[in-house]
């Protein structure tokens, strides 16, 4: 017995070190998605290119990440989750190195797309690998670390990106925000051997045509939205939108036909048997569009409108991140257990109040002075983010059957990233359209930037109204024939 107890100690420690490996990989992904957003204007100024490139630095990452998440999960089922996880981390590290070495915007955008694709191989494996290593109460404790780690990474990301870029370490400026991924990836790979290999006993068949249709259709829709300032939604841009919608309709028909033939579709059709889950997908897409779009607008106004440095823009987002962190903790520990899904509507109300307050600040601000009252508005908006996200995912997943949970969680993560891409496209284009191409604005960008920021925030208000309508549909009682999984939330 003594020998068994001694041998159990390194095994026990190894499991928790392996958990740290998975959490570090998740944190690396979140950090990369947020640090670049703050540094994007500096990157654009250094490399040149069109104003829309600022949006593509983020969108080129989140779009392939969103569209390949489900396929990445299926690859883990087929070839082994640890193997796919390691391949993804290696690809992410190599793409990060390329991002740090490129000399042009086109090469950077292409490398960012590879980064997003690699992240789509990494992230879906983490949940399955945790379940393979832990059971019972230990599984609950292990899963409980995911939220704080990811939350801390998202809070620290903007400030870290600003500090690293401002520090200009070794004269590398913004390139350091990509190089920071290398030691993280090395640490993950050094301990990856502690992960237990795991794969599905009945692996699903890959839906490569469906993946191609989803990527092509969404790309055709997003491209003219981001390039809108350049093409002015010309006939070519409108044609792209129509073609993208047509391809996405074809994707839906392909999924239905694949399910009818008994093959594994990318999207589980049974999830759409009740209106609650489709409404949750719409809610997630719109909400995260507002969240990521507003962050970009604040950064662009501070750097392009006021001419302030990257450190100033990063610190400006600190109340936003701090409000998110505090409200998330409060929602998870006190509010959601008592009030359930009603808390998410309080979150939407707070985010709406913060956005309206930001509009008032931009309306009254001196075009050439730092708008200090904006910090209060951002703190309120950030609190709204935290109040919304915790009950949202609990409520959304409560509408699905236990057997559908994995597919539903993957789809929710995918539309979250897709929403981030759309937010950068819509709100970013709205802002840039107001400050680019006008000689007067180029000579004195302050007044035009304030007006552009107001227009982008008003668009966010409209999206929040639509988000609220979708959330109401999501929280309505499910049909009796659906027999949903019941949650206390």
Q: Can you give the residue ranges of every domain in the chain? A: 1-196, 207-263, 273-489
Given a contact cutoff of 8 angstroms between Cβ atoms, the answer to whether 219 and 244 are in contact is yes
Residue-wise pLDDT tens digits, 232-274? 556 777 788 888 889 988 888 888 888 788 777 877 777 777 7
Given a contact cutoff of 8 angstroms between Cβ atoms, the answer to whether 293 and 320 are in contact is no
Given a contact cutoff of 8 angstroms between Cβ atoms, the answer to whether 207 and 77 are in contact is no
Task: Return d(Cα 291, Cα 482) in angstroms, integer.
Answer: 32
Region for residue 232 given its phi and psi (left: phi exceeds 0; alpha: psi -120 to 50; beta: otherwise): left
Q: How confident is the model at residue 383 (pLDDT cuts 50, 70, 90)?
A: very high
Whether residue 475 has pLDDT greater than 70: yes
**407 versus 98: which is more confidently predicted?**
98
**Shortest CA distance to 419 belongs to which of 295, 282, 300?**
282
**424 versus 229: which is more confidently predicted?**
424
Kindly report the CATH number that applies to the domain delimited by 273-489.
1.20.1250.20
Whether residue 109 has pLDDT greater than 50: yes
**6 versus 347: which is more confidently predicted?**
347
Fold of 1-196: Growth Hormone; Chain: A; (1.20.1250)
What pLDDT is stored for residue 30 in this prediction? Answer: 83
Name the token pair of 444.
């004195």
What pLDDT is stored for residue 435 in this prediction? Answer: 80
- Give the residue-averaged pLDDT of 422-446: 79
CA atoms lying within 13 Å on the CB side of residue 365:
27
Pick the most confident of 12-21, 180-189, 384-393. 180-189
Exposed/middle/buried for residue 402 (C-beta within 10 Å: 0-12, 13-18, 19+): exposed
Task: Return d(Cα 37, Cα 421) in angstroms, integer.
Answer: 12
Given a contact cutoff of 8 angstroms between Cβ atoms, the answer to whether 466 and 286 are in contact is yes
- Give the residue-averaged pLDDT of 73-87: 88
What pLDDT is stored for residue 264 in this prediction? Answer: 75
What pLDDT is stored for residue 231 in this prediction? Answer: 41
Task: Return d(Cα 87, Cα 80) in angstroms, integer.
Answer: 11
Angle, helices 235-260/208-226, rounded to nearest 10 degrees: 160
- Give the residue-averaged pLDDT of 422-428: 89
Q: 10 Å Cβ neighbour count for 332?
A: 20
Given a contact cutoff of 8 angstroms between Cβ atoms, the answer to whether 218 and 418 are in contact is yes
pTM: 0.83
**82 versus 397: which is more confidently predicted?**
82
Task: Return d(Cα 166, Cα 169) in angstroms, integer.
Answer: 8
Q: How confident is the model at residue 7 (pLDDT cuts 50, 70, 90)?
A: very low
Same fold, 1-196 and 273-489: yes
- Give the residue-averaged pLDDT of 50-55: 81
Q: How confident is the model at residue 1 (pLDDT cuts 50, 70, 90)?
A: very low
CA 282 to chain CA centroid, nearest Å: 15
Residue-wise pLDDT tens digits, 286-344? 999 999 999 999 999 999 888 888 889 889 998 998 888 888 888 888 888 888 889 99
Residue at token pair 């569209």: 67
| Least confident piece of the model among 3-12, 33-42, 162-171, 187-196 | 3-12
């Amino acid at each position: 017995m003594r020998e068994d107890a001694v041998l159990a100690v390194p095994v026990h420690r190894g499991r928790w070190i392996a958990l740290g490996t998975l959490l570090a990989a998740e944190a690396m992904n979140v950090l990369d998605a947020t640090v670049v957003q703050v540094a994007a204007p500096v990157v654009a100024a250094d490399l040149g290119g069109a104003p829309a490139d600022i949006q593509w630095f983020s969108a080129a990452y989140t779009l392939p990440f969103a569209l390949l998440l489900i396929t990445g999960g299926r690859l883990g089922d087929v070839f082994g989750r640890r193997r796919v996880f390691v391949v993804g981390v290696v690809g992410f590290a190599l793409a990060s190195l390329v991002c740090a070495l490129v000399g042009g915007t086109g090469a950077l955008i292409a490398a960012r797309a590879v980064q997003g694709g690699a992240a789509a191989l990494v992230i879906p494996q983490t949940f399955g690998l945790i379940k393979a290593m832990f059971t019972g109460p230990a599984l609950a404790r292990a899963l409980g670390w995911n939220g704080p780690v990811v939350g801390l990474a998202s809070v620290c990301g903007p400030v870290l990106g600003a500090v690293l870029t401002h520090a200009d370490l070794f004269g590398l400026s913004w390139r350091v925000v990509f190089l920071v991924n290398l030691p993280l990836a090395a640490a993950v790979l050094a301990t990856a051997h502690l992960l237990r290999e795991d794969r599905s006993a009945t692996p699903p068949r890959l839906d490569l045509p469906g993946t191609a249709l989803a990527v092509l259709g969404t790309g055709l829709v997003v491209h003219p939205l981001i390039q809108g300032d350049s093409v002015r939604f010309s006939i070519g841009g409108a044609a792209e939108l129509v073609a993208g919608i047509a391809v996405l309709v074809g994707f839906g028909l392909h999924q239905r036909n694949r399910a009818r033939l008994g093959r594994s579709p990318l999207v589980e059709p049974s999830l759409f048997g009740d209106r609650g889950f489709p409404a949750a997908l719409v809610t997630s897409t719109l909400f995260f569009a507002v969240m990521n779009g507003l962050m970009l607008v604040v950064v662009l106004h501070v750097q392009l409108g006021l001419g302030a440095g990257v450190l100033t823009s990063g610190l400006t987002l600190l109340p936003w991140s701090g409000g998110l962190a505090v409200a998330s903790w409060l929602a998870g520990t006190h509010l959601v257990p008592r009030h359930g899904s009603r808390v998410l509507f309080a979150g939407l109300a707070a985010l709406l109040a913060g956005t309206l307050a930001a509009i008032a600040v931009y309306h009254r601000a001196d075009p050439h002075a730092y708008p200090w009252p904006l910090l209060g508005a951002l703190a309120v908006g950030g609190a709204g983010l935290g109040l919304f996200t915790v009950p949202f995912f609990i409520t959304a997943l409560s509408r699905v059957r236990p057997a559908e949970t994995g597919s539903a969680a993957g789809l929710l993560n995918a539309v979250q990233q897709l929403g981030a891409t759309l937010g950068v496209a819509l709100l970013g284009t709205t802002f840039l359209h107001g400050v680019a191409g006008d000689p007067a604005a180029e000579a004195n960008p302050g007044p035009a930037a304030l007006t552009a920021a107001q227009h982008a925030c008003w668009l966010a208000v409209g999206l929040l109204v639509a988000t609220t309508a979708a959330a109401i549909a999501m929280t309505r009682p499910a049909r009796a024939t659906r027999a949903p999984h019941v949650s206390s939330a």
